[in-house]
Amino acid sequence: MTETDPRQLPPQYAPGEVEARRYAHWEAAGLMRADAKAVSPSAPAFAMVIPPPNVTGSLHIGHALDHTLMDALVRRRRMQGYTALWLPGMDHAGIATQNVVERELAREGLSRHDLGREKFTERVWQWKAESGGKILGQMRRLGDSVDWDRERFTMDAGLSRAVQTIFKRLFDDGLIYRAERIINWCPRCMTALSDIEVDHTEDEGELVSIRYGDGDDSIVVATTRVETMLGDTAVAVHPDDPRYSHLVGREIELPLSGRRIPVVADPHVDPEFGTGAVKVTPAHDPDDFEIGRRHQLPSVMIMDERGVITAHGPFLHLDRFEARPAVRDALREEGRIVAERRPYLHAVGHCGRCGTTVEPRLSLQWFVKVGPLAKAAGDAVRDGRVAIHPAEMSGRYFDWVDDMHDWCISRQLWWGHRIPVWYSASGETVCVGPDEDPPGEGWTQDGDVLDTWFSSALWPFSTLGWPDSTEDLRAFYPTSVLVTGYDILFFWVVRMMMFGLYAMSAAGPEQSVPFRHVALHGLVRDQYGKKMSKSRGNTVDPLDWIDRFGADATRFTLARGASPGGDVAISEDWVAGSRNFCNKLWNAARFALLNGADASAARPDPATLGSTDRWILSRLAAVTAATDDLLEQYEFGKACEALYHFAWDEFCDWYLELAKPALASGDEGAVAATRAVLGFVLDRLLRLLHPVIPFVTDELWRALTGGDSVMTAPWPGQRASGSTGGSSTGGGDLSAFADAAAEAEIGALMQLVTEVRRFRSDQGLRPTQPVPAALAGIGGTPLAGHEAAIRALLRLAAPGEAFAPTASVQACGVTVELDTAATIDVAAERRRLEKDLATAQADAAATERKLATPSFVERAPAAVVARSRDRLAAAQAEIARLTGRLEALPPARS
Partner RNA sequence: GGGUGCAUAGCUCAGCGGUAGAGCACUCGCCUUACAAGCGAGGGGUCACUGGUUCGAACCCAGUUGCGCCCACCA
Q: Which of residues 624-643 bind RNA (CB under 7 A)?
A: 637-638, 641
Given the complex with RNA, which of 741 and 866 has the nearer CB atom?
Answer: 866
If the CB atoms of residues 90 and 626 are measured against RNA, the closer one turns out to be 626
Residue 8 as a binder of RNA (CB under 7 A): the answer is: no
Residue 620 CB, nearest distance to RNA (Å)? 16
Please say which residue, 44 or 292, places its beta carbon nearer to RNA.
Answer: 292
Residue 458: which of 108, 350, 450, 18 has the closest Cα? Answer: 450
Distances, alpha carbon 385 to alpha carbons 49, 187, 225, 456, in Å: 18, 42, 47, 21
Tally Cβ neighbours within 10 Å of residue 828.
13
How many chain residues interact with RNA (CB under 7 A)?
94
Cα–Cα distances in angstroms (integers) from residue 15 to residues 458, 592, 687, 693, 713, in the given order: 38, 20, 18, 11, 22
Q: How many residues are recorded in the chain?
A: 894
Q: What gap in Å lies between CA 853 and CA 870, rounded to an integer?
A: 16
Examine residue 561 and tell whether it contacts RNA (CB under 7 A): yes
Q: Is 215 in the site for RNA (CB under 7 A)?
A: no
Does residue 859 interact with RNA by CB under 7 A? Answer: yes
Contact 363, 190 (CB under 8 A): no
| 31/846 with CB nearer RNA | 846
Q: Among residues 846, 879, 886, 889, which is the contact residue for RNA, using CB under 7 A?
A: 846
- 41 or 861, CB closer to RNA? 861
594 binds RNA (CB under 7 A): yes
Q: Smallest distance from the beta carbon of 628 to RNA, in angstroms?
A: 18
Q: Hey, which residues between 468 and 487 contact RNA (CB under 7 A)?
A: 487
Nearer to RNA, 313 or 770 (CB): 770
Q: Measured from the CB of residue 656, what is the shortest distance to RNA in angstroms?
A: 4
Beta strands in 372-474 (DSSP E): 387-389, 407-408, 410-411, 421-424, 429-431, 443-445, 449-450
Nearer to RNA, 152 or 760 (CB): 760
Which residues between 374 and 433 bind RNA (CB under 7 A)? Answer: 392, 395-396, 399-400, 405
Strands 479-485 and 515-521 come out as parallel
Separation of alpha carbons 662 and 651, rounded Å: 15
The stretch near RNA (CB under 7 A) out of 172-180, 409-417, 577-585, 600-608 is: 577-585
243 is a site residue for RNA (CB under 7 A): no
- Contact residue for RNA among 140, 517, 719, 850 (CB under 7 A): 850
Contact criterion met (CB below 8 Å) for 693 and 76: no
Q: What is the DSSP string of 654-711?
A: IIIHHHHHHHTS--HHHHHHHHHHHHHHHHHHHHHHTTTSHHHHHHHHHHHH--S-GG
Among 127, 148, 648, 803, binds RNA (CB under 7 A): 648
List of long-range contacts for 538-546, beta carbons under 8 Å, 24+ apart: 539/60, 539/61, 540/61, 540/570, 540/572, 541/60, 541/61, 542/59, 542/60, 542/61, 542/63, 542/64, 542/138, 542/142, 543/59, 543/138, 543/141, 545/572, 545/575, 546/15, 546/19, 546/141, 546/142
Contacts to RNA from residues 308-327, by CB under 7 A: none
Q: In whole angstroms, how close is the CB of 263 to RNA at the nearest point?
A: 14
847 binds RNA (CB under 7 A): yes
Q: Does 674 bind RNA (CB under 7 A)?
A: no
- Nearest distance in Å: CB 223, RNA: 4
**Range in contact with RNA (rule: CB under 7 A) among 162-170, 436-444, 525-533, 886-894:** 525-533
Part in contact with RNA (CB under 7 A); list of ranges 89-97, 127-135, 167-175, 267-275: 267-275
Enumerate residues 88-127 that contact RNA by CB under 7 A: none
Q: How far is the CB of 258 from RNA (least distance, A)?
A: 22
Per CB under 7 A, the list member of 4, 42, 224, 299 interacting with RNA is: 224
Evaluate the CA torsion angle 141, 146, 151, 155 in order and state its sign: negative
812 binds RNA (CB under 7 A): no
Of 153, 48, 60, 3, the C-alpha closest to 709 is: 3
> What part of residues 755-784 is at the interface with RNA (CB under 7 A)?
757-758, 761-762, 764, 766-768
Among 255, 276, 691, 731, which residue interacts with RNA (rule: CB under 7 A)? Answer: 276
When asked if residue 878 is in the footprint of RNA (CB under 7 A), the reply is no
What are phi and psi for residue 370, nearest 5 degrees?
-85, -25
* Binds RNA by CB under 7 A, chosen from 333, 853, 866, 890: 853
Task: Assess 498 for contact with RNA (CB under 7 A).
Answer: no
In sequence order, the 6+-apart residues with CB closer than 8 A to the CB of 478 are 460, 500, 504, 511, 512, 513, 514, 515, 516
* CA 20/CA 861 separation, integer angstroms: 58
Q: Does 202 bind RNA (CB under 7 A)?
A: yes
Q: Which of residues 737-756 bind RNA (CB under 7 A)?
A: 754
Alpha-carbon gap, residue 698 to 549, rounded angstroms: 17
Residue 420, Cβ density class (10 Å: 0-12 exposed, 13-18 middle, ≥19 buried): buried
With CA atoms as reference, report the closest residue to 274 among 224, 332, 227, 217: 224
Q: By C-beta, is 22 or 78 nearer to RNA?
A: 22
CB of 653 to RNA, least distance (A): 4
Question: Is residue 336 involved in binding RNA (CB under 7 A)?
Answer: no
Shortest spacing between CB 686 and RNA, in angstroms: 14
Within residues 675-734, the interface with RNA by CB under 7 A covers none
149 binds RNA (CB under 7 A): no
Residues 491, 453: Cα–Cα separation, whole Å: 8
- Only segment of 118-126, 421-429, 563-571, 598-606 that touches RNA (CB under 7 A): 563-571
Window 33-92: residues binding RNA (CB under 7 A): none
843 contributes a contact to RNA by CB under 7 A: yes
Angle at Cα 706 formed by Cα 45 and Cα 684, nearest 5°? Answer: 60
Tell me how far apart the alpha carbons of residues 192 and 365 are, in angstroms, rounded to a whole number. Answer: 8
Q: How far is the CB of 398 from RNA (least distance, A)?
A: 10
The yes or no reply on residue 278 touching RNA (CB under 7 A) is: yes
Alpha-carbon span 485 to 483, nearest angstrom: 7
Q: Cβ of residue 205: shortest distance to RNA, in angstroms? A: 8
CB of residue 856 to RNA, shortest distance in Å: 4
Give the C-alpha separation, 69 to 541, whole Å: 18
